[in-house]
Amino acid sequence: MSAQPESIARSNIDHWQERVDLAAAFRWTVRLNMHEAVSNHFSLAVNDDGTRFLMNRNQVHFSRIRASELLELDANDPETLSRPGAPDPTAWGLHGSVHRRCPHARCVMHVHSIFATLLACLADSTLPPIDQNTAIFYDRVVVDEEFGGLAFEEEGERCAGLLADPMKKVMVMGNHGVLVIGETVADTFNRLFFFERAAETYIRALQTGKPLRVLSDEIAAKTADEIENYPGQANKHFDELKAILDDENDSYAS
């Protein structure tokens, strides 16, 4: 847990550590230039069935998001958009639908990061295993080829239906961007980070115009399994990111 005095003073707020982690993820997404104006959203389930979740407020830049200011929403509340301080309608449509329909998706991160979005723009948006990072995602990605416009509730429900398989933890949203799910903020952010790196490797490899050296299905599957079960990597990565923010007296945990 962050040792910042402000975070300790606010520790009586419900789901404080979850809030701190989610706020840190927003701040690091900006540092990695994976944000987009005041668009895109992250959410985190805070009850057993996943239907209550934290999410960023409407139209707030990722670089200014604080733990104490995150919304707590109920995916089963049809009056959510009519209440004061309502979330962005497309965020509600997409994240509310995923948390309502996919209890295994504890954390949901959606961005229009550059290389993942480039991948989403290709006629074939599959990510071949051409190195260790791309192999992480072997048989773990679903490609949505039916983009239907902004993710209001009907479109959000359709997208959520593509995440029924718990093994598919990344959705390349054709003509749109990427959505990543996971068990915790650390798990999901780590996956988002490496997917963007993997997409960049692939796009840059395509730019050379030379033939790709694609791993065999057997080695790609083996690599994906090994990394999936690598002990503690996501948590250690995220703890280091929070430590950097804390060293800089960043206000995320306030």
According to the model, what pLDDT value does residue 149 have? 73
Q: What is the pLDDT of residues 52-90, one digit of tens each?
A: 999 999 999 999 999 999 999 999 999 999 999 999 999
Fold of the domain spanning 5-253: L-fuculose-1-phosphate Aldolase (3.40.225)
197 CB-side CA count, 13 A: 14
pTM higher than the cut 0.85: yes
> Are the CB atoms for 250 and 62 separated by under 8 Å?
no
pLDDT in tens, 168-189: 999 999 999 999 999 999 999 9
Low-confidence ranges of the chain (pLDDT < 50): 1-5, 7-9
3-state class (DSSP) for residue 104:
coil
In the chain, count H helices and then E strands. 10, 7
Could you tell me if 37 and 54 are in contact, meaning their C-beta atoms sit under 8 angstroms apart? no
Report the pLDDT value the prediction gives residue 151, as an integer from 0 to 100: 64
